[in-house]
Amino acid sequence: MKCPEIDDLEFSERGKLAVKEIRRIKEINQWLSATITVGTFANIFAGNGLIKSHYNLTQTDFDSFATALKSSPSIARKTIETISGLQAIKAKTSKERQFWKAVYNGCEAAK
């Protein structure tokens, strides 16, 4: 599994909404499954704070996200896949598309 590093990733407004939605799913996921801890999702999906305009994502961020996703309940995984897949189509920049594709694929097909 190869996770990408994305420098200066900028989210569109839709992209920010999708990040918020995944954060919410992560919280429900944690409630439903005590085995998933807060720190295992990528920082971008952690916390409730404002979504920043720019992110520099390291491979470690993605690796931890992919691991957390693998151990999530199947329905939560499919929900995150669906949101990220539809976001990949509507992405405004190639970096944003790369990010959503990596989330969708759990990094497996990240280019």
Q: How far apart are CA 31 and CA 53, in angstroms?
A: 29
101 lies in the site for another protein, by CB under 8 A: yes
Q: Which of 2, 5, 7, 28 binds another protein (CB under 8 A)?
A: 28
Spell out the residues 6+ positions from residue 16 whose beta carbon is closer than 8 angstroms to its own. Answer: 51
From the list 68, 55, 46, 51, the residue with the least C-alpha distance to 17 is: 51
Q: Which stretch binds another protein (CB under 8 A): 1-9, 46-54, 57-65, 98-106?
A: 98-106
Q: How far apart are CA 63 and CA 57, in angstroms?
A: 11
Contact track, another protein, 68-87, x by CB under 8 A: ------xxx-xx--xx-xx-
Residues forming the site for another protein (CB under 8 A): 21, 24-25, 28-29, 31-32, 74-76, 78-79, 82-83, 85-86, 88-90, 97, 101, 104-105, 109
